[in-house]
Amino acid sequence: MDNQTSVAEFVLLEFSKIRELQILHFYIFLVLYLAAITGNLLVISAIAFDHRLHVPMYFFLMNLALQDLGQLSVIMPKSMLNSLTNTRRISYAGCVAQVFLFLFFAGSDFSLLTVMAYDRYIAICKPLQYEVIMNRRTCMQMIGTVWISGLLYGILHASSTFATSFCSNTVNQFFCEIPQMLKLYCSKEYQTEMVVVPISALIVFGCFVFVIITYIQISVEVLRIPSVQARKKAFSTCLPHLIVFSTFVFTVITAHLRPSSNTSSYMDLVLTIMYSTLPPMLNPLIYSMRNKEIKVALSRLFLLN
């Protein structure tokens, strides 16, 4: 292929050439996808229908569940469909949409986790000022900034990724992943994306440092609380968010700090599945298991039905 215009579609990585294993992949992904969809929808429903949870922390959590639903829905159904129909193809427009939407939801997800850390900081370190600082208008502005930042992040990467010529259409991953797309360029001089990536990395690193510093300050403040019961309660409100944030960061770092290779491997596939699907699947489970208010709200929701 001489230039970008000759690429009408891309060929994705297949999980196996054996038909039985392709069907097995379809059913495994289907079960995981339905479980993740159900978990996130339950969290959204519990918060939406319980007025006791209409507070900033759960408002942010509901948006996190929406983002997780979007992130999974961008990549898993297409992969399942390909396995079911025994094909590996995705259209050029479909690949562009995958890159944009996946980064839109993943970017807004990370931004929201940063905002949620700030919310926990205000709640624990400045409890008397919490309602003043985290008022309805401020929360709406924060969540608007989160979604807009994700939108810009997705547009920036998608436009820079597809602005250069491709000399191959074989993507060594089960969805259109940017690191794999970069390997298809005709020229190694992809200046646009090489400028975007360091800027994005700098922003992500800044958010990461902000969250770490925030939790250091929270820990110092909590340790000053004389009551052991009060300390446990304060830590319990932060623990789910800290677990979710750590899972997100750990899986992304593990997947992207692995030395680059032009050939695919099962390890690359496993690491990509980990960072792209594992956090959205685990988030509702983590919050529902570690949060009494969510458990109570879910119980009320089932009783109503």
> What pLDDT is recorded for position 195?
65
**Is the CATH number of domain 4-304 1.20.1070.10?**
yes
Q: 201-231: per-residue pLDDT in tens?
A: 788 888 889 999 999 999 899 888 888 888 8
Radius of gyration of the chain (CA): 21
How far does CA 60 lie from the centroid of its chain? 14
Percentage of the residues of the chain whose pLDDT score is greater than 90? 47
Query: What does each C-alpha distance from 36 to 30, 82, 248 come to in angstroms?
Result: 10, 20, 16
- The more confidently predicted of residues 252 and 304 is 252
- The more confidently predicted of residues 6 and 62 is 62
**First CA to last CA distance, the chain:** 57
Residue type at 111?
A: S
Query: What does each C-alpha distance from 70 to 28, 34, 55, 65, 93 come to in angstroms?
Result: 19, 13, 23, 9, 18
Q: 87-97: per-residue pLDDT in tens?
A: 999 999 999 99
Whole-model pTM? Answer: 0.89
Least confident among 6-10, 19-23, 145-149, 289-293: 289-293
> Could you tell me the pLDDT band of residue 85, with boundaries at 50, 70 and 90?
very high
> What pLDDT is recorded for position 98?
96
